[in-house]
Amino acid sequence: MTRPRDSGAVAYTPLMRPENAHGQAPDESAVAKETRSLWARLGIVNILNLGLGSLLLVLCVVPLAWLWAESMGAATGREPSSSWIAVVKADWTTRIVTICTAILRTVVTMQASMATAMFAGIILERVGAPLMDGPFYSITRAISVSPSNLLWAPNLPLRGTGFSTVIVGLILLEVSVMMGLQFLSTILVADFGNGAFPETSSATNLQILNETNVVPGAWWSMPPAASWTFAEQSDPFVSGPMYHDTGHTYRAFLPYTQAAQRTSLRHFHGPVPIVDQRVVCAQPALRELRLDALHPVTTRLSGQIAIANDTYPMLQDTQSQPYVPFACALSGQMNPAQSHGQTSLCWPNYGNNWEVLVEDPLVPPTEVGNSGYPKASTMFMLLDLVSWAAIPFGTVQEVHSVENNDTTTSGSSSPWVMVGNGTDAPMVRVTACMANLGVGTFTADLHSDWEGLEPALSWDQPAQRYSTTTSRIQLGASLTEQPPDDRGVLSLSPRSDWKLFFSEAETAINAWVFTLAIAKSLRDPQSAGEGLLRQNQTADMGVLLSRTPTTIEFNAHETHVGLFQDTLNQTQSPAVALQALLTRICQMIYYDQLLRLEETGHANVTFSHAATIPTRWTGFGVGMGLLLSHWVAVAIVAALFAQYTQHSLLGNHWQAVSQVYSKETAAILEEADRMDDREVKRWVEGRGPGGLYSVAGDGGKGRLALTVRNPD
Helices (H), 43-92: 44-75, 82-89
The residue type found at 496 is: S
Banded model confidence at residue 661, pLDDT cuts 50, 70, 90: confident
Assess whether 426 and 501 both reside in one domain.
Answer: yes
Residues 372 and 338 in one domain: yes
Helix 162-181 to helix 93-122 angle, to the nearest 10 degrees?
Answer: 160
Q: Is the CA virtual torsion 574, 577, 580, 584 positive or negative? A: negative
pLDDT average, residue stretch 655-677: 80
Alpha carbon distance 142, 397 (integer Å): 111
Considering the domain architecture, whether residues 263 and 123 belong to the same structural domain is answered as: no
- For the entire predicted model, the pTM comes to 0.73
Same domain, 457 and 548: yes
Per-residue pLDDT at 10 exceeds 60: no
Whether the pLDDT of residue 32 is over 50: the answer is no
Residue 159 maps to a domain: yes
Do residue 458 and residue 501 come from a single domain? yes
pLDDT at 346: 96
Mean pLDDT calculated for residue range 386-394: 82
Q: What pLDDT sits at residue 197?
A: 81
Region 354-360: what's the mean pLDDT?
A: 90
Q: With cut-offs at 50, 70 and 90, classify the pLDDT of residue 1.
A: very low
CA distance 664 to 508: 109
Give Rg (Cα) of the chain: 44
Task: Tell me how many degrees the CA angle 459-462-467 measures, rounded to the nearest 5.
Answer: 30
In a domain, 480, yes or no: yes
- Do 44 and 160 belong together in one domain? yes
The letter for the amino acid at 335 is: N
More confident residue, 235 or 657: 235
Task: Give the integer Cα–Cα distance in Å for 283 and 412.
Answer: 12
Residue 58 belongs to some domain of the structure? yes
Comparing 61-75, 145-159, 266-280, 432-446, the range with the smallest average pLDDT is 145-159
Same domain, 172 and 266: no
Return d(Cα 265, Cα 255) in angstroms, integer.
11
Mean pLDDT of 251-278: 95
What is the Cα–Cα distance from 574 to 344, expressed in whole angstroms? 12
CA dihedral over 668, 671, 676, 680, signed as positive or negative:
negative
pLDDT for 535 beyond 60: no
Could you give the C-alpha distances from 365 to 352, 359, 361, 378, 582, in angstroms and in order? 13, 11, 8, 9, 18
Say if 65 falls within a structural domain.
yes
Q: Specify if 431 maps to a domain.
A: yes
Question: Is the pLDDT confidence value at 23 over 70?
Answer: no
Question: Considering the domain boundaries, does residue 8 fall inside one?
Answer: no
Q: Which of 606, 630, 653 is the last residue of a domain?
A: 653
**CA 124 to each of CA 134, 143, 242, 696: distance values in angstroms, whole numbers, following the listed order:** 7, 15, 90, 9
Question: Which pLDDT score, from 0 to 100, does residue 604 have?
Answer: 95
Determine the pLDDT at residue 373: 54
| pLDDT surpasses 80 at 22 | no
pLDDT band at 188 (very low <50, low <70, confident <90, very high): very high
The kind and range of the H/E element at 117 are helix 93-122
Residues 497 and 428 placed together within one structural domain of the fold: yes
Q: Domain residues for 474?
A: 209-404+413-528+537-598
pLDDT over 50 at 182, yes or no: yes
Cα–Cα distances in Å, from 638 out to 41, 42, 51, 155, 167? 11, 9, 12, 23, 12
- Mean pLDDT in residue range 171-175: 92
Same domain flag for 169 and 251: no
At 213, which amino acid appears? N
Say if 18 falls within a structural domain. Answer: no
Given this model, what pLDDT does residue 335 score? 58
Q: Are 444 and 274 in contact (CB under 8 A)?
A: yes
Mean pLDDT of 378-397: 87
Q: Do both 450 and 343 map to the same domain? A: yes
Question: In Å, how far from its chain's centre is CA 503?
Answer: 41
Residue type, 670: E
Distances (CA, A) of 168 to 104, 145, 158, 161: 25, 17, 7, 11
- In the chain the first and final C-alpha atoms are separated, in Å, by 59
Name the helix (H) or strand (E) containing 270: strand 265-276
From residue 338, how far is each of 300, 324, 549, 574 by CA, in Å?
18, 31, 12, 20
Overall number of domains in the chain: 2
Structure confidence at residue 99 (pLDDT): 95
Of the residues 566, 598, 630, which one is the last residue of a structural domain? Answer: 598
**Residues 53, 121 within the same domain:** yes
Q: Which residues contact 92 (CB under 8 A, 6 or more apart)?
A: none
**Tell me, what amino acid is at 169?**
G
Beta strand 490-492 pairing with 230-234: parallel
**Do 424 and 551 share a domain, yes or no?**
yes
What pLDDT is recorded for position 144?
Answer: 86
Residue 593: inside a domain, yes or no? Answer: yes
Query: What pLDDT sits at residue 698?
Result: 63
338 contact partners, CB below 8 Å, separation of at least 6: 388, 547, 548
Q: Chain centroid to CA 32: how far?
A: 67
Mean pLDDT of 120-146: 85
